[in-house]
Amino acid sequence: MSEKKYFGTDGVRGEVGQFPITPDFVMRLAYAAGRVLVQHGSDHRPTVLIGKDTRISGYMLEAAMEAGFTAAGVNVLLTGPLPTPGVAYLTRALRLDCGVMISASHNAYSDNGIKFFAEGGVKLSDETELEIEAQIDQPMETVPAEKLGRARRMAGAQDRYIEFCKSTFPNDLNLRGLKLVVDTANGAAYHIAPKVLHELGADVVEIGNEPDGFNINEKTGATHTKTLQAAVLQNEADYGIALDGDGDRLMMVDRNGKVYDGDSLIYVIAKARAQAGQLGGGVVGTVMTNMAMELALKERNIEFARAKVGDRYVLEQLYQRGWQVGGEASGHIVCLDKHNTGDGIVSALQVLAALRYLQQDLATALNWRPFPQTMINVRINKGHNWQAAVEPVATQVIQELSGRGRVVLRPSGTEPVVRVMVEAQQSDVAQEAAERIARVIEESL
């Protein structure tokens, strides 16, 4: 398979105003995607739904995409601010040909990106992304006037998504009696997540809910949980819920201000479902999932498998194995019986439902502690064969850990570094081993 020029692991992303996140390129990208849709859907005029988060650049890029798609003969529905999983849901629910999310997820406002969803609200295949890239390099020729697409604002998109989120929570349960602080990172879920939780009965305190185009993810949300921790303690809340800028990640905080990452929350969901006989297989994590979680699942006779880093690879494993639950420590959590992509709001509801079922709080439900991890980034020269040099020492460290720790060596996909991660039951052991491996790579240069 050819190598992709523009698409990364999750769409096209970069700094606004710098290639490829320019109006010109984004219009050409939409035109190319539109041409592919027209070729594949010869029996009808395709329709694409475009959502965005709250970045100031969203207006510009939305207009550029609208121009590109309509020039290719594709109709456009514009939702305004909507979480990424909301775009995936509506693409599926409305039987549309494609969905597009304009967002750079947890990045600062100065970045932006384009994520595509295929028919059914699933990620684009590699083959389709390559088709689109091939079209980008072709001349842009607007279709005849009678074949131009139309664009319109979609009324009620947010309300439909709110009702969908609520439908994923058990009908016989509610959130009455719970006080929740909800931090939406001044992002796409600012007007949605609080309503979902309030309508299910919770007493909701909102923070990070005043987007101004520039403050998305700024010292708030799933990647900056200190703001939420302070708010939970100040408001004497039961839990805090933090989403990221496009609403597909989740972190939670308990009444004592302790943070629970994706690994912990996935375990709670799996524990409750297994106890109820509703897990539907095992759990998929990634190579970065903490080993303590893997061992805790095994103690409950729950199978566990690791995928490459990235929610698309977690999804691939879940589909291949016919399992339902998986995700990443970063907060991307997938419950395939509820949604076909990671969804921060839906994931929070699954955790809260699990705690209701277990009749436990987060601290009690988690009977394991994460192993300490040490991560060191080692810069390398392009083309350098660091693998051969590091293999003996990595093998030695693995033997020393005796099955109670791990070594992960992962080249970065975006910069010339090798990420050395060692996990062990004692932090000093992890630190010493990671430094030893990193030193060997450096000396081999």
Amino acid type, 380: I
Beta 304-307 vs 373-379: how paired, if at all? unpaired
Show the CA angle centred on residue 215, arms to residues 212 and 220, nearest 5°. 130
User: DSSP string covering 412-429, please?
Assistant: -SSSSEEEEEEEESSHHH
- Adjacency order of strands within the sheet including 111-118: 12-15, 111-118, 98-102, 47-52, 75-81, 151-153
User: What is the rounded (10 degree) CA torsion for 252, 254, 256, 262?
Assistant: -40
Q: Is a pLDDT exceeding 70 seen at residue 26?
A: yes
229: Cβ–Cβ under 8 A, 6 or more apart, which residues?
240, 253, 257, 259
- Segment 89-110 shows an average pLDDT of 97
Predicted local confidence at residue 110, as pLDDT: 98
Report pLDDT digits (tens) over 246-278: 999 999 999 999 999 999 999 999 999 999 999
Which tokens is 144 given? 């005849």
Residue 415 has pLDDT above 80, yes or no: no
What confidence score (pLDDT) does residue 413 get? 66
Task: Domains for the chain: give ranges and CATH numbers.
Answer: 12-156 (3.40.120.10), 163-258 (3.40.120.10), 260-365 (3.40.120.10), 373-444 (3.30.310.50)
Per-residue model confidence (pLDDT) at position 414:
65
pLDDT > 80? residue 378: yes
Sign of dihedral through CA atoms 347, 350, 355, 358? negative
Range name among 90-104, 244-258, 364-378, 400-414 with the lowest pLDDT average: 400-414
Indicate whether 109 pLDDT > 70: yes
Which helix or strand (DSSP H or E) is residue 101 part of? strand 98-102
C-alpha–C-alpha distance, residues 29 and 113, integer Å: 12
User: Is residue 240 over pLDDT 90?
Assistant: yes
Other C-beta atoms lying within 10 Å of the C-beta of residue 167: 11
* Catalytic one of 105, 264, 330, 347: 105
Using CB atoms within 10 A of its CB, is residue 259 exposed (0-12), middle (13-18) or buried (19+)?
middle
CA angle 235/238/239 to nearest 5° reads 95
- Give the per-residue pLDDT at 330: 94
Q: How far apart are CA 445 and CA 442, in angstroms?
A: 5
Calpha distance 125→388 (Å, rounded): 33
For residue 2, which of 162, 127, 132 has the smallest C-alpha distance? 127
DSSP string, 274-332: HHTT---S-EEEETTS-HHHHHHHHHTT--EEEE-SSHHHHHHHHHHHT--EEE-TTSB
* pLDDT above 70 (res 243): yes
Work out the number of other CB atoms within 10 angstroms of the CB of residue 275: 13
Question: Residue range 12-29: average pLDDT?
Answer: 97
- Judged against a pLDDT cut of 80, whether residue 9 lies above it is answered with no
Q: What are the tens digits of pLDDT across the range 127-164?
A: 999 999 999 989 999 999 999 999 999 999 999 999 99
Q: Please tell me the number of Cα atoms within 13 Å of 167 on its side-chain side.
A: 10
Q: In this predicted structure, what is the pLDDT of residue 412?
A: 77
Determine whether 103 is an active site residue.
no
| pLDDT at residue 416 tops 90 | no
> Which of the residue ranges 55-59, 77-81, 322-326, 381-385 would you say has the lowest mean pLDDT?
381-385
Among the residue ranges 4-13, 72-81, 182-191, 249-258, the one predicted with the least confidence is: 4-13
The residue-averaged pLDDT of 340-368 equals: 97
- Indicate yes or no: pTM above 0.75: yes
pLDDT of residue 1: 60
Q: What percent of the chain has pLDDT over 90?
A: 90
Verify cis geometry, omega within 30 degrees of 0, for the bond prior to 411: no
Average pLDDT, the chain: 95
Residue 91 and residue 98 in contact, taking contact as beta carbons nearer than 8 Å: yes
Instruction: Using CA atoms of 296, 342, 92, 122 in order, give the dihedral in degrees to the nearest 10.
Output: -90
Supply 25's token pair.
Answer: 């390129």
Give pLDDT, residue 366.
95
pLDDT at 311: 87
Collect all residues with Cβ–Cβ distance below 8 Å to 160 and sequence separation of at least 6.
90, 93
Report the candidate in 16, 194, 7 with the shortest Cα–Cα distance to residue 104: 16
More confident residue, 106 or 381: 106
Tens digits of per-residue pLDDT, 277-304?
999 999 999 999 999 999 999 999 999 9
